[in-house]
Structure 1
Amino acid sequence: MKPSPQPPRSVFGLPKLPAKYAGVVMPFFLSIFMTCIVSLVSTLRSVGPVAGFGSLWLGSWGLSWLVAFPTLLLVLPLVRKATAAVVDLPAP
């Protein structure tokens, strides 16, 4: 029997990060996606679809991300504890 092929060990030609970095990479991507969506909705609601909306939104997004990413890194341990207090997690 032929062994199954190994998954790619690179993304966009760059080597994957070791698993120990998942605790920083996950909040990094989460903060990017969340601030993108929330700042888009907030900017659209406050100024509407005006000329120059894209630059207004990108400025709002950048500022939001600068606040959100460090906040996620600080708050994530508390969120894990709160989740464990509310959810009956399986034993490891």
Structure 2
Amino acid sequence: MIHPKFAPYLFSLLLSGMMSCLVSGIATYRALGFVPNFVAEWMGAWGSSWLVAFPAVLVVAPIARRLVALLVRSPDAA
């Protein structure tokens, strides 16, 4: 098992992998349609997009958490 201190990095790795897979699949389909080599094209697009998505999530996630904290009312402030 992985030490809990690495949980944010594992979360970022998994989230960026799943989201980039989904988005690159949709983008590849929109660009090419279901061509015979669709899966190979999709996997190529996914690989490059994941290389960008993982570091992006590492940078953007803390900013998103702070924005959410600013926008969400605390239960005892009601």
Q: Same fold (TM over 0.5)?
A: yes
The alignment of Structure 1 onto Structure 2 pairs a total of residues equal to 76
Whole-angstrom CA distance in 1 between matches of 2:57 and 2:74: 22
More strand by share: 1
Query: Equivalent residue for 2:23?
Result: 38
Answer yes or no: is 1:86 the counterpart of 2:71. yes
Whole-angstrom CA distance in 1 between matches of 2:75 and 2:9: 24
Whole-angstrom CA distance in 2 between matches of 1:89 and 1:18: 30
Identity of aligned residues (%): 41
Whole-angstrom CA distance in 2 between matches of 1:68 and 1:81: 20
Query: Equivalent residue for 2:56?
Result: 71
Letter in 1 for 2:72: V
Larger relative contact order, structure 1 or 2 (CA cutoff 8 Å, min sep 6): 2
Over 3 Å counting, the alpha-carbon distance change for 1:22 and 1:58 in structure 2 is same
Please tell me whether Structure 1 or Structure 2 has the larger radius of gyration of its CA atoms. 1
Question: Which 4+ residue blocks in structure 1 deviate beyond 4 angstroms?
Answer: none
- Offset of residue 53 of structure 1: 0.8
Letter in 2 for 1:32: G
Query: Equivalent residue for 1:3?
Result: none
- Segments of structure 1 that go 5 or more residues without pairing to the other structure are 1-15
Task: Give the one of 7, 12, 23 matched to 1:27.
Answer: 12
